[in-house]
Amino acid sequence: MNRIWIDLYDAAKAVQNPRELSERVYAGGVAAAIESTSGNIYSLFSYFREKKPTEKKKYKGDTFALD
């Protein structure tokens, strides 16, 4: 495997820090890294994301209702 892919993977993995902020929100589960044309590597991670309800949804007319 090309070394740059390993470096990018390692940079993204270093900032990934999944954690639950509340019952419905979590952060840090997704991370990415890019290489600039000058050769610098920049990494970032997702900060907030709303959790999807685990209940099944039932369609009622033009809306969805949770079980």
The tens digit of pLDDT for each residue in 31-61 reads 999 999 999 999 988 776 666 655 555 555 5
Confidence of residue 29 (pLDDT cuts 50, 70, 90): confident
- Answer whether residue 21 shows pLDDT above 70: yes
* pTM of the model as a whole: 0.60
Total structural domains within the chain: 1
pLDDT on residue 66: 46
Q: Mean pLDDT over all residues of the chain?
A: 78
CA distances from 27 to 11, 13, 14, 35, 50 (A): 18, 14, 15, 24, 9
Using CA atoms, how far apart are residues 34 and 62, in angstroms rounded to an integer?
42
Domain with 40, as residue range(s), is 3-66
pLDDT on residue 20: 84
